[in-house]
Amino acid sequence: MNFSSPESITQYLDGLVQCIRDCGVSEADGELHHLLHDSAWTTSSEWLGEIKLLLARVRRTNQESLSSAALEKIDTFMAFVDEAWNNANR
């Protein structure tokens, strides 16, 4: 997956917040919303890393509660972060 701007990343993740909320995992949707809209980051890699860590925890601790769509969105975004970091370190 490719994103054209930071705003497109935020839009994707806002959709993921709603998807997680729809699955009843409310503590995770609040944390993700906070990372997206209420926090300041020194670098984009720090921002992406914090989001990836949160999503990995959400996936691990709520796997039974999350829909297949939510799990797919989480996996897609985590793969995007891995690819971005790999490309940055070439």
Residue among 68, 31, 63 at smallest CA distance from 50: 31
The parts of the chain modelled with pLDDT lower than 70 are: none
According to the model, what pLDDT value does residue 87 have? Answer: 82
pTM: 0.87
Q: Percent of the chain, pLDDT > 90? A: 57
31: Cα separation from own chain's centroid: 10
State how far Cα 61 lies from the chain centre: 15
Query: According to the model, what pLDDT value does residue 81 have?
Result: 93
